[in-house]
């Protein structure tokens, strides 16, 4: 084990290959948004919620391994490229994973999970990491039969098997894959948290970019009218506000904490956990924006209200939790803002969709201004 003082240890910048790798998962976010948009129902939401953690784990676990063993080493470059290839085919199967392409989704997923874990276990020189990845492999083996069973059964039962598998996988990740008598002790262990946090920030930008892309696609498909101008403007305003919440005061608080923390792994783990929920919120926002721009008039359904307000609420709650868990900042603005958005979303059911979008966009923008 290498023990370091806060702020010391080997550090290196994010490489072009890592950014190139992220493009495959930008495609994944687009696929997940399309799946939710096409299956705008409770079942469609459940299917999207099942796939997102599995896909996100493929991204962050590979990025974590590439942070431990830098990409300037050829063995790590090969790992990233192989996961990139497998991830491309896995993500291509997203929209049909619960119909005709169950195996096309699950085989690359399992190869990524097990292969990357074994690779990291073999190549890591840190005893703490090797022990952790041995436990990770145990958890991965435990859920593999559930993923396989889900691919083998029909579409109706598949969501149940995969929900169980992804639920267990997610619990393992949140708890750092404990086994009886063994758990991760990460205090004073050398880890380049600056690099991993930068990877998280860049992935968040990709998710924000997907929201902008979806909004732009909806504007391009809609008629050129004043209504499209209004809905497109407020859709973008809401996304800009979420960006400002991420890269304003909250960002500065996290950076200051990293400069003095003795547990960079804990800070990075919690960042990854919060990021997944924030990405889920952005996918929801993207779908809501597209729906309202395409259909601004008429009745605002309960489902649309959930999308409009639920996405920003997920984003705020995840960010507020991270600020509390890591730099120990209790941001009342995030929690009060989440409650306010819930009230606004429910009240918006009495208004047309474009009014609901305006109310939510204005609310999130106000929160971003107050958080400066």
Secondary structure (DSSP) of 124-153: ---HHHHHHHHHHHHHHHHHHHHHHHHHHS
CA distance 166 to 331: 30
Planar angle of CA 1, 135, 192, nearest 5 degrees: 40
Report the SS3 class of residue 234.
Answer: helix
pLDDT, position 7: 40
How many angstroms separate the CA atoms of 337 and 317, rounded? 9
Indicate whether 316 and 283 sit together in one domain: yes
If one counts the domains in the chain, the total is: 2
Residue 2 lies inside a defined structural domain of this protein: no
Q: How many Å apart are CA 221 and CA 362, to the nearest integer?
A: 24
Q: Are residues 169 and 203 in the same domain?
A: no
pTM of the model: 0.93
Residues facing 179 on adjacent strands: 182
- What is the pLDDT at residue 343? 93
- Say yes or no: 234 and 87 in one domain: no
Residues 311, 242 share a domain: yes
Would residue 3 count as lying in a domain? Answer: no
Beta bridge partners of 189: 3
Round to whole Å and give the CA distance between 166 and 121: 22
Domain range for 343 is 193-370
Residue 188 lies in a domain: no
Residue 30 located in a structural domain: yes
Kindly state whether residue 274 falls inside one of the protein's structural domains.
Answer: yes
What pLDDT score does 6 carry?
A: 37
Per the CB < 8 A criterion, the answer to whether 62 and 116 are in contact is: yes
Q: How many CA atoms are closer than 13 Å to the CA of 83, on its beta-carbon side?
A: 33
Indicate which CATH number applies to the domain containing 277: 1.20.1410
Domain-embedded: residue 7: no
The series of mean pLDDT values per 10 residues for the chain, 372 residues long, is: 41 90 97 95 95 97 94 94 98 96 97 95 88 91 96 94 96 88 74 91 96 96 96 97 88 79 86 96 97 92 92 95 87 89 90 95 93 80
Query: Residues 241, 333: one domain?
Result: yes
206/202 Cα distance (integer angstroms): 6
* 10 within some domain: no
Q: Of 112, 142, 174, which residue sits at a domain end? A: 174
Q: Kindly calculate the radius of gyration of the chain based on its CA atoms and give it in whole angstroms.
A: 21
**What whole-number distance in Å separates Cα of residue 242 and Cα of residue 208?**
8
> Of the candidates 140, 174, 208, which is a domain's last residue?
174
Same structural domain, 205 and 143: no
Q: Are residues 42 and 92 in the same domain?
A: yes
Statement to judge: residues 333 and 209 lie in one domain: yes
Do residues 235 and 343 both lie within one domain?
yes
As a residue count, the chain comes to: 372
Helix axes 332-347, 353-370, angle to 10 degrees: 170
CA distance 181 to 265: 20
Name the nearest CA neighbour of 228 among 301, 304, 289.
Answer: 289
Examine the domain organization and report whether 212 and 313 are in the same domain: yes
The secondary structure of residue 15, as a DSSP letter, is P
Q: Are residues 242 and 95 in the same domain?
A: no
Does any domain span residue 329?
A: yes
Q: How many CB atoms lie within 10 A of CB 114?
A: 15
How far, in Å, CA of 58 to CA of 90, rounded? 10
The last residue of one of the domains, among 141, 174, 207, is 174
The answer on 72 and 145 residing in a single domain is: yes
């Amino acid at each position: 084990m290498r023990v370091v003082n806060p702020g010391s240890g080997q550090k290196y910048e994010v490489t072009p290959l890592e950014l190139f790798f992220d493009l495959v998962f930008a495609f994944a976010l687009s696929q997940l948004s399309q799946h939710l948009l096409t299956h705008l129902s409770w079942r469609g939401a459940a299917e999207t919620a099942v796939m997102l953690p599995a896909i996100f784990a493929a991204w962050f676990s590979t990025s974590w391994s590439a942070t431990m063993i830098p990409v300037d080493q050829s063995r790590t470059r090969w790992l990233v490229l192989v996961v990139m290839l497998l991830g491309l085919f896995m993500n291509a199967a997203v929209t049909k994973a619960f119909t005709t392409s169950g195996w096309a989704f699950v085989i690359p997923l399992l190869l990524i999970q097990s292969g990357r874990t074994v690779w990291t276990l073999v190549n890591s020189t840190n005893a703490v990491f090797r022990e952790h990845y041995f436990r990770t492999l145990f958890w991965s083996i435990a859920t593999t039969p559930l993923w396989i069973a889900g691919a083998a059964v029909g579409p109706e039962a598949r969501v149940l098997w995969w929900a169980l598998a992804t639920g267990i996988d997610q619990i393992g990740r949140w708890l750092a894959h404990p086994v009886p008598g063994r758990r991760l002790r990460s205090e004073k262990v050398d880890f380049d948290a600056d690099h991993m946090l930068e990877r998280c920030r860049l992935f968040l930008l990709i998710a924000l970019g997907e929201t902008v892309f979806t909004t732009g696609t909806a504007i391009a498909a809609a008629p050129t009218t004043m209504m499209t101008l209004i809905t497109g403007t407020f859709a973008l305003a809401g996304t800009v506000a979420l960006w400002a919440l991420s890269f304003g005061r909250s960002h500065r608080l996290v950076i200051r904490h990293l400069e003095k923390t003795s547990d960079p792994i804990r800070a990075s783990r919690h960042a990854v956990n919060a990021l997944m929920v924030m990405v889920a919120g952005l996918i929801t926002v993207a779908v809501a924006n597209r729906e309202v721009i395409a259909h601004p008039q008429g009745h605002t359904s309960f489902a649309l209200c959930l999308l409009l307000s639920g996405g920003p609420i997920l984003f705020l709650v995840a960010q507020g939790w991270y600020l509390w868990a890591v730099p120990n900042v209790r941001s009342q603005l995030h929690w009060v803002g989440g409650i306010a958005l819930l009230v606004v979303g429910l009240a918006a059911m009495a208004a047309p969709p474009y009014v609901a979008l305006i109310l939510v966009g204005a609310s999130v923008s106000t929160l971003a201004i107050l958080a400066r």
